[in-house]
Amino acid sequence: MKDSKSKTISRRSFIKIGGFSVALVVASNPLMKAFARPDPSGPRRLLILEQNGGNDGINTVIPYSSEGYRIYEEIRRQMALPYGDLLNLENGWAFHPSLQQLALRFKAEEVAVIRNIGLKDPHRSNLSHFDMMEKWRAGNPNGFSQTFGKGWAGRIVESLATTSPIAALSLSTGVSPMLLDTEQAASATSSATGMLDIPEEIHDAFREAMRRMAEDESGLPAALAAARRGLRGASNLSDFLLNVPDGTSEESETARLGQYAANIFNFNDWVRVIHLPLSLEHDTHIRHLPTQAYNLSELDKGITAFFDTLKPEVAADTIVATMSEFGRRVEPNGEGGEDPNQMGTDHGTANTLFFVGRRVKGGLYGEDPDLKGLDPDGNLKASDNFMRVEASIAAFMGIDPEEIGLGSETFDAFRPST
């Protein structure tokens, strides 16, 4: 039984920097005043929504012309979404019916649909989650071996002109590999592993001990000095996050996290990148239709809650980018018999992603997915490498993508700052 006099650490006080986890009892800390800035403006910000498992792009953005839909319906068979349920974008394409609010944003020219993204060289992919996630997160077709262990988003953060101790935050159990290897990345999580009971009678002494352990001293070995800097950053970030308003959505966990991410941006200008891995099952080998309908509804709610919570001056220079390691096979996999709600899809190749925000030049980007010109395995042929997506994000953040190993090809998908 827990001691009735114990204090349980808030989920927002569990911070992870690099490979070290630091759970801190939070108290009033004058240092956090240097972090909190109530009226941020100017710096560009990025929220990455990661759809791990492989979201199905084919049923996310669907051909809406009579000929395009005929081909789609023929190859998707029982898993083709009913024509009358689709959200017409009035350009020959339509959104999945779960993306109600995103469709409205598209018509307001605030959504870029990035199509047919993957690896143009099919021999580089074995359709393994681990293989493709490594490539995406490294920002290189050969993975982290070619990037010295640094992730594409981490390289962006390192290139930002910021002296903030923490410029990137993963809302997860650890810093995402895409944010490695920068000392300016941390994570905060709501998992049970972030809980620690501190008896009331030693609370103040514990907090003081942690503060003293973080003090800087001259002549320390480099590793110890780095550890103390990390502890100071964790302490300050922990105190700051405790004062950030939580999400309030009772309907959707994704919406609640979207609200929380927005408030982190609202109440400071030092966190520039937030990574949010969605806790949804996108690997739909079975029950594809109901699972994806729920997932995309959550995505729609999360993006909506994020932008509804952002202050207007912050939203002016903030974008959301969705990512998923690959798409799904074009034809159903035969699982689930003839019941369309039980049928599934296997790992595929090219996918469809989104950029969302007021700085986005809305529209369709990339080539149309060719449902008639599949590769020998029945997969779409990617027309653009995933690095072009990451290079475009780097350019939006004010970084030359070629200088950080992402190549020179970008999508002209963003408006200049006003």
pLDDT digits 0-9 by tens, 92-134: 999 999 999 999 999 999 999 999 999 987 666 678 999 999 9
Nearest to 310 by CA among 263, 344, 275, 270: 263
CB neighbour class for 162 (10 Å; exposed up to 12, middle 13-18, buried from 19):
middle
The CB density around residue 25, as the number of other CB atoms within 10 Å, is: 20
CA distance 191 to 7: 17
- Residue 123 carries which DSSP code? G
The rounded distance, in Å, linking the Cα atoms of 263 and 246 is 8
For residue 67, which amino acid is it? E
Specify if 31 maps to a domain.
no
What integer pLDDT is reported at residue 198 of this predicted model? Answer: 58
Q: Are 306 and 319 within 8 A, CB to CB?
A: no
DSSP assignments along 2-23, one per residue: --TTEEEPPGGGEEEETTEEEE
Per-residue pLDDT band for 13 (boundaries 50, 70, 90) equals very low
Instruction: Give the H or E element holding residue 226.
Output: helix 222-242
Does a structural domain hold residue 314?
Answer: yes
* The two three-digit tokens of residue 73, written as one number: 């319906």
**pTM, whole model, 2 decimals?**
0.86
Residue in 364, 279, 295 with CA at minimum distance from that of residue 328: 295
Residue 153, pLDDT above cutoff 90: yes
Whole-angstrom distance, CA of residue 214 vs CA of residue 397: 32
The dihedral formed by the CA atoms of 130, 297, 413 and 113, expressed in degrees to the nearest 10: 80
> What 3-state class would DSSP assign to 117?
strand
Q: Which residue has the tokens 């009735």?
A: 4
Residue 416: inside a domain, yes or no?
no
Q: What does the pLDDT read at residue 417?
A: 79
Burial group, residue 170, by CB count within 10 angstroms (0-12, 13-18, 19+):
buried
Task: Tell me the mean pLDDT in the region 318-324.
Answer: 98
Of 20-34, 207-221, 350-364, the least confident? 20-34
With CA atoms as reference, report the closest residue to 112 among 139, 138, 91.
Answer: 91
User: Taking every pair of C-alpha atoms in the chain, what is the biggest distance, in angstroms?
Assistant: 73
pLDDT at 382 over 70: yes
Residue 239: other Cβ atoms inside 10 A: 22
Q: Given this model, what pLDDT does residue 241 score?
A: 74
CB atoms within 10 A of CB 312: 7
3-state secondary structure of 137: helix
Tell me which DSSP letter residue 247 carries. Answer: P
Calpha distance 82→223 (Å, rounded): 60
SS3 state at 205: helix
Tell how far CA 112 is from the center of its chain.
Answer: 16
As a dihedral over the C-alpha atoms of residue 96, residue 353, residue 158, residue 359, rounded to 10 degrees, the angle is -70
What lies within 8 Å, CB to CB, of 74 at 6+ separation is none
Q: What is the CATH number of the domain that holds 265?
A: 3.40.720
Answer whether residue 21 shows pLDDT above 60: no
Give per-residue pLDDT as tens, 339-354: 999 999 999 999 999 9
In whole angstroms, what is the distance from residue 73 CA to residue 257 CA? 36
Six-digit token pair at 78? 């029982």
Is 313 within a domain?
A: yes
Q: Which tops the pLDDT comparison, 404 or 202?
A: 404
- Per the model's pLDDT, the better-predicted residue between 406 and 39 turns out to be 406
Whether 311 is covered by a domain: the verdict is yes
Judge whether 26 lies within some domain.
Answer: no
CB 6 within 8 A of CB 197: yes
In the chain, the number of structural domains is 1
Q: Where are the alpha helices (DSSP H) in 50-116?
A: 66-76, 100-107
- Residue 159 burial (C-beta neighbours within 10 Å; 0-12, 13-18, 19+): middle
Q: What is the domain range of residue 376?
A: 6-21+43-404
* Domain-located, residue 413: no
Residue 27, in any domain of the structure: no
Mean pLDDT of the chain: 84
Phi–psi pair at 17, nearest 5 degrees: -120, 120
